[in-house]
Amino acid sequence: MKRSRFTDDQIIGILKEHEAGLSAAELCRKHGISDATFYKWRAKYGGMEVSDAKRLKALQEENAKLKKLLAESMLDMATLRELLGKNF
């Protein structure tokens, strides 16, 4: 997965500049980002504070760990069912 040049704190700072009155085109030129990136950030982080973004990141990491545990568990169950089915 590609890593962003900007941290969540920096992204929120850029979005705050937009809320303060700078146009999207000016911000994109100033920070060297594309319009698509700006609007994607606005959709994801719009209206958030830094603490909200950190909480979101923590929840996403926890969700990824839980999904991995579930997948491993389901794989183990499928393997056991297959072995038991062949033995009987």
Which pLDDT tens digit goes with each residue over 52-87?
Answer: 989 999 999 999 999 999 999 999 999 999 988 876
- Count the neighbouring beta carbons within 10 Å of the beta carbon of residue 37: 16
State the Cα–Cα distance between residues 26 and 8, nearest whole angstrom: 20
Check residue 46 and give its pLDDT: 87
Check residue 70 and give its pLDDT: 98
State the Cα–Cα distance between residues 86 and 21, nearest whole angstrom: 69
pTM for this structure?
0.66
Percentage of the chain with pLDDT > 90? 70
Kindly indicate the confidence band of residue 1, based on its pLDDT and cuts at 50, 70 and 90: low
pLDDT for residue 32 is more than 90: yes
